[in-house]
Amino acid sequence: MARKANPNRRIVLLDGITEALYTRPIGEISFRTLAESLGVSTYTLVYHFGTREELLQAILQSITDQQSVALELVDADLRTIDDLTAHLEHAFQVMASPENRQLQRIEIEAAMLGVMSSELLPDARRTFDSWLRVLQTGLSAIGLDEDTAEKSARTLIDGMYGIKYDLVLTADVERATEAFRTLLDGYRQALGAIVARES
């Protein structure tokens, strides 16, 4: 009977793999190149991750888990527009950290691979869908109906993802932060008008 993979060893390997991706494109990874970076055999990686596609799925899950700190800041007990926007400000600061910018680059690259692979697409969308879910929940909590909350959440997240892309391309945290605050100020005003209209 085959021995089961040690889940703790898998986590340690995955952390090393994610770190290795900080300096190379995700499209270039192979079991051989990763094994060399980590100082392990290719057999070790195949044993713990199976196929290259399964490895990519594990990497995408790891990225989602590591970015969940920002998500948790949004996924809170929100009662007012000020609560929501304050949490989003904190979430952006987490998102703009050097480590998270690297994770976002990997996420963007993986999303491009996902577009070309129907198997990977749900994994590539996981962080985006998580943001959509928690923000939609927050908007519903402050009084928006389900349809309006979904549309409003998607509008803000699309804007945030544009700024995330800017951060990945330029690493200019100051300008990206300024752009985010401009986006959030406009969003806060629009949201206030929607809530007032629906009250």
Instruction: Report in angstroms the alpha-carbon separations of 122 from 25, 64, 87, 115.
Output: 20, 12, 26, 10
| Model confidence at 152: pLDDT above 70 | yes
For residues 100-121, average pLDDT? 74
Residue 56 resides in a domain: no
Token pair for 81: 């527009």
Average pLDDT of the chain? 83
Share of the chain above pLDDT 90, in %: 25
Judgement on whether residues 18 and 115 belong to the same structural domain of the protein: no
Is residue 28 located within the same domain as residue 102? no
The answer to the question of residue 104 being in a domain is yes
**How many Cα atoms within 13 Å fall on the side-chain side of residue 89?**
12
Q: How many domains does the chain have?
A: 2
Give the C-alpha separation, 4 to 67, whole Å: 28
109, 27 Cβ separation under 8 angstroms: yes
Q: In the numeric block, which tokens belong to residue 94?
A: 């987490």
Q: Say whether both 165 and 189 belong to one domain.
A: yes
What's the gap between Cα 174 and its chain centre? 21
Q: What is the reported pLDDT for 114?
A: 61
118 and 183 in a single domain? The answer is yes
Rounded CA separation 120/110 (Å): 8
Same domain, 44 and 89: no
Determine, yes or no, domain membership for 73. Answer: yes
Res. 57 pLDDT band, cuts 50 70 90: confident
Q: Is residue 59 part of a domain?
A: no
Q: pLDDT class for 133, splitting at 50, 70, 90?
A: confident
Kindly report, residue by residue over 167-193, the tens digit of the pLDDT: 988 989 999 999 999 999 999 999 888
Q: Which residues have CB under 8 Å from 14's CB, separation 6+?
A: 58, 59, 62
pLDDT at 1: 45
Residues 3-39: tens digit of each pLDDT: 565 668 888 998 898 888 888 888 788 889 899 989 9
DSSP helix/strand/coil, 132? helix
Residues 93 and 123 in one domain: yes
Can you give the residue range of the structural domain that contains 95? 64-198
Q: Please tell me whether the overall predicted TM-score, pTM, comes out greater than 0.85 for this model.
A: no
CATH code where residue 18 lies: 1.10.10.60
> Do 46 and 95 belong together in one domain?
no
pLDDT tens across 60-80, in order? 888 777 766 666 655 556 678
